[in-house]
Amino acid sequence: MQDRVVLVTGGTQGLGLAIAQAAAREGASGVAIVGRNAEKAERAAEGIRASGRDADVTTEVLPIVADLGVDGEAERAVAETIARFGRVDSLVNAAGATSRGTLLDTTRELLTEHLTLNITVPFMTMQGAVADMRRRGAPGTILNIITMSMHGGQPYLAPYVASKAGLAGLTKNAAFAHRFDRIRINGLNIGWTATPGEAVTQQTFHGADDGWLAEASAAQPMGKLGQPDEIADAVVFLLSERSGVVTGSIIDWDQNVPGAYE
């Protein structure tokens, strides 16, 4: 990622922050992160700068405070990144909605929230980033965080599954459309991951107690949930030249195998 400018939505916490830190460690000269809370964004920015310093890299960080669910905010995030750094070399769409709903109890409002954050926002950030890359005649890379649940998921994830499966289709469509622009676009289907946000989700929607993580980890094949830093390494690989010509791939990053039965 040496000397690249990277934009990460959802980059102020959890997986998005881990990805931004990994990009800095790998030499990114500029990292823009998008989140809703200004104080959290500033703390995250300092953590990203520190990650770069630990690897002897000077990384300029641009925290962008935005509610991506509001019309025009996704476009503004891309525009502010270009205004500050002059370009976007790599884009990561890590922001998204994960709230619960079944086919029968999901309201139109909840479905709209998922479609907005999980499809419309990535669509618009990709549009802005690809337009910038084409304007400069430069190659670039995009990585969309999707989910293993796009294969079907649990009944209580109906709007999430619908929107993320749509993002998988969008990823392939955009990758095919812009392969001769040398813009590589891939998706990562992440499995159950240990983040602060997941802890809130488990407690809010599933009545989990403080010991939920240890119990959940013990039940997994590898004895742990997915780790943000490990996923971040995979993301950086797919953004970098180390992943070669790969584009249009939706990669399962998990310890369970969809479609397999005992």
* Structure tokens, 253: 């990053």
pLDDT < 70 stretches in the chain: none
Length of the chain: 262
Would you state the pLDDT for residue 169? 98
Count of alpha carbons within 13 angstroms of residue 226, beta-carbon side: 24
CB atoms within 10 A of CB 104: 7
Question: Hey, which residues are catalytic here?
Answer: 160
For 43, residues 6+ apart whose C-beta sits below 8 A from its C-beta are 12
List the beta strands (DSSP E) in 178-217.
183-190
Helices 14-25 + 228-239 axis angle, to 10? 50
Instruction: Compute the distance between CA of residue 69 and CA of residue 143 in angstroms, rounded to an integer.
Output: 20
* Structure tokens, 109: 């409002």
Sheet holding 183-190, edge to edge: 60-65, 30-35, 5-9, 90-93, 140-145, 183-190, 250-253
Q: Which helix (H) or strand (E) holds 65?
A: strand 60-65
Instruction: Compute the distance between CA of residue 228 and CA of residue 194 in angstroms, rounded to an integer.
Output: 7
Q: Which stretches within 55-120 are classed as H helix?
A: 73-85, 108-115
* Structure tokens, 91: 């884009």
